[in-house]
A and B are shown apart, each in its own frame.
Chain A
Amino acid sequence: MLSYAEKIREIAGRLLTSGSVEMVIGFRQGTVPMMNEPHFAKTPAQVQALVWDSHCGINLANYLTDRKEKIGIVAKGCDSRNIVTHIIENKIKREQLVVIGVPCKGMVDKRKIAMKCPGEITAVIEDEAGVTAKGGGFSQRFEKKDVLQHNCSLCIHRNPVIHDELVAEPVPEQQGVDRYADVRSLEAMGPEQRWKYVEELLAPCVRCYACRNACPLCYCPTCFVDEARPQWVGKGQDPQDVRAFHFLRAYHCAGRCTDCGSCERSCPVGINMRVFTKKLEKDCLDLFGWEAGLSLEVRPPLDTYRPQDPNDFIK
């Protein structure tokens, strides 16, 4: 994926020079290891700052919401699916966009790497198949497949579903992936065990809402947790309110979530709140044969009625 950066800069430069877009949204080099910053270029000179590597896990569709300009946007598989969802939900127009597709090989999980290293990581060097983390007195190489973000290890849509440009040949999609092992284990639990699991999962939550805000789906002008009249949820650290936030947010993402992993990646305390959205993702697949963001033509299950929709919940 390292060669992508050059190509991204070339395409971005061309788009800006020809005036076909006013800005290109991508990533620039981060200031700490394993982090890059979403960034825009508005002039051909500024495209030099754009980079690409295995630390571009933030979903850039989040930066399109209600923008008015013509935009070039760098999009890996999941970003492209959220761009599709944004278009379907009228948060951006297809005509405004030039999608610079990135056939993705997955993003690495900086926490996984940090936990496997004996000390603070001060530099990470990437090669085609992995990364080497260095710090005071250690240097450790990891195969990429061993340190992928959990969602990336389960991803079967690495190639952008819509694109106007492509920075490289499509990559082979992962085959034979068991995408829902974690959800099945959750489903198999009894209510008490599941409740305990959720309690423990959410105990460290500080309600910063990074998970919500990193999510391209969470674009409501006023989120239900911020509503004051009426106030749906308490604002303190009562576990009941914390749970209400997580459960409701997950439902708001039903049929829309692409499992891009931006939420989990952004959480300062490392909570895997993706289990909730993944459960709903699985339900959508099981009940409606639906996967979010794959097509601009088909309406999502939650805003369409089809006679064959399951209805056995009506007693």
Chain B
Amino acid sequence: MKMIAIPKKEWPAGLAKAAGSFRLFGPVKEKEFHSFKRLENGQLPDFSCQNTRLSPKHLVYPQSEVMLTYSLDESRPDHHIMKEAPADTSPRAVLGIRPCDAKAFVLVRMNFDTPDYKDPYWLRAYESTTFVGLSCASPCSSCFCTTAGCGPFHEEGLDVLLADAGDHFLAKVLTEKGAAWVAAGGWTQTADAKAEGRLADLRQAAEAKIASQVQTESLKAADTTALYNAGFWEEVSFACINCGTCTYSCPTCWCFDIQDETRGTSGVRMKNWDSCMYPLFTLHGTGHNPRGTKLHRVRQRFMHKLKYFVDKYDRGIQCVGCGRCVRLCPVNIDIRRVCGLMNGLAASGEACAID
């Protein structure tokens, strides 16, 4: 698709125009750190942000989302009938999302959009959104996207990819949705013939700056039981306090729990993020929990991301290398290290699948 040049001086006016047909969201700094927020009239997304502290997954998949509402008031004809909760599904654009976070939505979609099951809440939010990505010219030292199936200029999941080219943005339009957004902003200047080459150079320079890696090549062939029974889990899980910070900050974690909350006679059925790090996760009605200890929970996190997911979907690991869990884990449990241990065990032959 085509490449547009957006002069930076035309950026604010174009956004104001686009705001006529899109609700705009972007990184905004409040006190200490950036997060994705609805942009007020005339407010610009802050592109100086390396990445938001927490992922933008809440835009499509809020931490708490009311799905249905009900009334217990028996004098009402509609009592005890679940009703769809209102939701705003008018078009919106998320500006300045990083490629890792956009790719993460693609991974999460594999769970929420299958031939058998479709999550209408996730899907309608996702489908109403246009993702305008900002490539990473200076990635964080803890980003490892290039070895996690992604990269600082990765395009999967994006509708437009922006690259900072000095006095203008190069905007690579990737989808119809992206074209509609560019049109709404009124940016029409097609980039010159050298733009493709410039983008490739910028991409190469950015990829070269990624300082950290994971090794994943032996995970797929590894024997699941051998990995599950590996000796290192006690050491890996020891420090973990089961806080769920890793899950909540992760763009690819998708687990949720459903709760009814009633106040007086009216109530809501909502879904809330859950985490395999929590004691209630997979707790059975009998009181038994197959993941009853810290070791089980930590192992679940890493086995899901780095083995079960790999086996089930054959699309790489359930991690895009954004590095958030690495930066935010209060006790420094580092997925890069754990991935290395798992991959290393697999590569050593001790965890080879027997075929």
Contact = CB atoms under 8 A, between A and B. Distances in A.
A32 B243 contact: no
A63 interface: yes
Interface in B133-191: 138, 140-142
B337 interface: yes
Interface string A36-77: 111110000000000000000010001100000000000000
Contacts of B270: 236
A201 to B, nearest CB: 11
B245 A115 contact: no
A214 B279 contact: no
A111 interface: yes
B332 interface: yes
Interface residues of B, number: 41
B128 interface: no
B255 to A, nearest CB: 13
B332 A120 contact: no
A82 B283 CA distance: 30
Interface in B213-263: 235, 238-239, 241-245, 248-249, 257, 259, 261
B138 A136 contact: yes
Contact of A32 (B239, B241, B245, B326): B326
B63 A268 contact: no
Given A32-B334, A120-B140, A213-B243, A268 B259 contact: no
Interface residues of A, number: 39
B88 to A, nearest CB: 18
B332 A30 contact: yes
A58 B329 CA distance: 12
A116 interface: no
A198 B302 CA distance: 36
A96 interface: no
Interface in A190-234: 204, 206, 208-210, 212-214, 222, 226, 228, 234
A62 B330 contact: no
A34 B257 CA distance: 34
Contact of B142 (A32, A237, A265): A32
Contacts of A122: 141
Chain A interface main SS type: loop
A213 B333 contact: no
A155 B337 CA distance: 35
B63 A213 contact: no
Contacts of B327: 32
Contact of B241 (A36, A62, A120, A269): A62
Given A32-B326, A208-B244, A268 B249 contact: yes
B261 A268 contact: no
A271 B318 CA distance: 29
Given A31-B334, A222-B279, A236-B64, A213 B239 contact: no
Interface in B87-136: none
Contacts of A37: 239, 331-333
Nearest to B238: A40
Contact of A63 (B140, B238, B249, B337): B238
Contact of A208 (B31, B141, B248): B248
A236 B274 CA distance: 11
Contacts of B259: 234-236
A132 interface: no
A31 B336 contact: yes
Interface in A262-300: 265-270
A210 B241 contact: yes
B64 A31 contact: no
A213 B248 contact: no
B65 to A, nearest CB: 9
A226 B280 contact: yes
A224 to B, nearest CB: 13
B328 interface: yes
Given A120-B140, A236-B64, A269-B33, A213 B332 contact: no
B43 interface: no
Contacts of A236: 63-64, 259, 261, 270, 272
A58 B243 CA distance: 14
Interface string B321-355: 00000111011111011000000000000000000
A124 interface: no
A131 interface: no
A136 B138 CA distance: 10
A261 B191 CA distance: 53
A234 B262 CA distance: 10
A65 B333 CA distance: 20
B272 A32 contact: no
A38 B240 CA distance: 9
A268 B334 CA distance: 15
B32 interface: yes
B53 interface: yes
A35 interface: yes
B266 interface: no
Nearest to B32: A270
A196 to B, nearest CB: 15
Given A136-B138, A235-B257, A268-B249, A214 B238 contact: no
Interface of A: 30-32, 35-40, 58, 62-63, 111, 115, 120, 122, 136, 204, 206, 208-210, 212-214, 222, 226, 228, 234-238, 265-270
Closest 5 CB pairs of A and B: A266-B330, A236-B64, A210-B243, A213-B241, A38-B239
